[in-house]
Amino acid sequence: MIKVICVGTIKERYFKEAAEEYKKRLSRWTKIEEIEIKEEDENKYRNVEMLLKKEAERILKHIKEGQYVVVFDINGTQLSSEEFAELLDKKVSKGEEIVFVIGGSNGLSDAIKKRANLLISFSKLTFPHQLFRILVYEQIYRGFTIIKGIKYHK
């Protein structure tokens, strides 16, 4: 099973449709669960660290002992699509649950990064939150097509 925990929501209809399309495609190979965590209002906190701590508390409630946690972070390791597929294959074939965590506009707290088994960076570029979620789903889908030998990845 794959769980995707996201801080923030998708507002644009076309991004929602893209996410749903990838989740539908993935459903033939794995169960996928998406959890949206409300992004905190910056105006309610004295500093970003306090805001991130509050978001982290809510994220950690959805992560169980023994789950393999992958956090997306600009300072993480960059993987090729084949390496990402290999990671998926190793975990899924063992029946392990993988949890992907996507931070909000303020990033993620150190507590979440420390809980991670792996930090991954897609790029040094900054992406809009809604678009990044689609990129994550697309890469998970691409990974499964590589695993299954389906001609999608070139």
Question: How many structural domains comprise the chain?
Answer: 1
The Cα–Cα gap between 140 and 121 comes to 14
Backbone angles phi, psi at 120, to 5 degrees: -120, 140
Please indicate, yes or no, if residue 154 is contained in any of the structural domains.
no
Digit-coded pLDDT (tens) for 56-103? 999 999 999 999 999 999 999 999 999 999 999 999 888 899 999 999
Band (154; pLDDT cuts 50, 70, 90): low
CATH number at residue 42: 3.40.1280.10
Please indicate, yes or no, if residue 79 is contained in any of the structural domains.
yes
Residue-number span of the structural domain to which 87 is assigned: 2-148
The confidence score (pLDDT) of residue 111 equals 96
Please indicate, yes or no, if residue 22 is contained in any of the structural domains.
yes
Q: Shortest CA distance to 72 belongs to which of 9, 22, 27, 134? A: 134
The Cα–Cα gap between 26 and 10 comes to 19
List, in sequence order, every beta strand (DSSP E) within 1-151.
2-7, 32-37, 68-77, 98-102, 118-120
Question: Taking 90 as the threshold, does the pLDDT of residue 134 lie above it?
Answer: yes
Please indicate, yes or no, if residue 153 is contained in any of the structural domains.
no
Digit-coded pLDDT (tens) for 37-60? 998 887 787 888 999 999 999 999
Digit-coded pLDDT (tens) for 9-24? 999 999 999 999 999 9
